Amino acid sequence: AQKITQTQPGMFVQEKEAVTLDCTYDTSDPSYGLFWYKQPSSGEMIFLIYQGSYDQQNATEGRYSLNFQKARKSANLVISASQLGDSAMYFCAMRANFGNEKLTFGTGTRLTIIP
Amino acid sequence: NAGVMQNPRHLVRRRGQEARLRCSPMKGHSHVYWYRQLPEEGLKFMVYLQKENIIDESGMPKERFSAEFPKEGPSILRIQQVVRGDSAAYFCASSRPRGQGIDEQYFGPGTRLTVT
């Protein structure tokens, strides 16, 4: 079974500052993928970034980077130079790479950017 | 290049009625997933389908819920005899077949079901 834990229900960050959203996971699968999604108030789910468990380098996508620490089973999302439009719910998710296709989601972190 | 389409976006049903939710995957995607999001919660997996096949329905309630993905047409999530507890956002996602890229799941805008 897979489990995702997001321990920060809500965060407030000043505009232009960097922010780290925490995510820890638990799985017995030897190969897996980690995902972050953004859900703005309009409700859609927007894919942000992906990290494979065997990737040697941390994933980056523009202002998003994933701080992957495999031994600690953590996959924190870092947003640099935050913007007002970053205010949203953020979900960490994982999926086994073989057989089991479903995504397992955490409970999310509500990020609010303060002007 | 249209994304994942879901309709209706909002659906209101009285208790006991049937709800039908439709999902058209992205072009080139043959895998469809349904998730449910209760208010203030994360998404929970319901079912995973490929064309004409249910691959994993481990997250589907045993009664009243069914899903299909026919050879032609959209995937359908059907909820019979809805109850107030079915009120939620239902998201469909699609992905490429394995081995064709990262195969991340792209989500549709969701259908917000309200049972009165």
3-state SS record for chain B: CCCCEEECCEEEECCCCCEEEEEECCCCCCEEEEEEECCCCCEEEEEEEECCEEEECCCCCCCCEEEECCCCCCEEEEECCCCHHHCEEEEEEEECCCCCCCCCCEECCCEEEEEC
Calculate mean pLDDT across residues B75-94: 96
For the cut 80, the answer to whether the pLDDT of residue A96 exceeds it is: yes
What was the pLDDT predicted at B98? 66
Q: What whole-number distance in Å separates Cα of residue B27 and Cα of residue B2? A: 7
Q: What whole-number distance in Å separates Cα of residue A73 and Cα of residue A4? A: 10
pLDDT band (50, 70, 90) for residue B96: confident
Q: Which residue of B has its CA nearest to A98?
A: B98
Q: Which residue of A has its CA nearest to B107?
A: A45
Q: Which residues of A touch B55 (CB under 8 A)?
A: 101
Cross-chain residue pair B41–A107, CB shorter than 8 Å: yes
Q: B12 and B114 in contact (C-beta within 8 Å)?
A: yes
Q: Could you give the C-alpha distances from A32 to B8, B17, B56, in angstroms and in order?
A: 33, 40, 18
What was the pLDDT predicted at B41? 84
What was the pLDDT predicted at B100? 53
Distance from CA of A47 to the nearest CA of B (A): 7
Q: Which residues of B touch A7 (CB under 8 A)?
A: none
Q: Could you give the C-alpha distances from B98 to B46, B48, B58, in angstroms and in order?
A: 20, 14, 20
Calculate mean pLDDT across residues B67-73: 93
For the cut 90, the answer to whether the pLDDT of residue B81 exceeds it is: yes
The string of pLDDT tens digits covering residues B5-51 is: 999 999 999 999 999 999 999 988 889 999 999 987 889 999 999 98
CB-based contact, B64 to chain A, within 8 Å: no
Calculate mean pLDDT across residues A77-98: 94
- Hey, of A45, A50, A98, A100, which one would you mutate to test binding to chain B, going by the most B CBs within 10 A of its CB? A45
CB-based contact, B112 to chain A, within 8 Å: yes
Q: Phi and psi at residue A50, in whole multiples of 5°? A: -130, 140
Residue with tokens 């600690």: A72
The string of pLDDT tens digits covering residues A28-87 is: 988 899 999 999 999 889 999 999 999 889 999 999 999 999 999 999 999 999 999 999
Calculate mean pLDDT across residues B52-69: 94
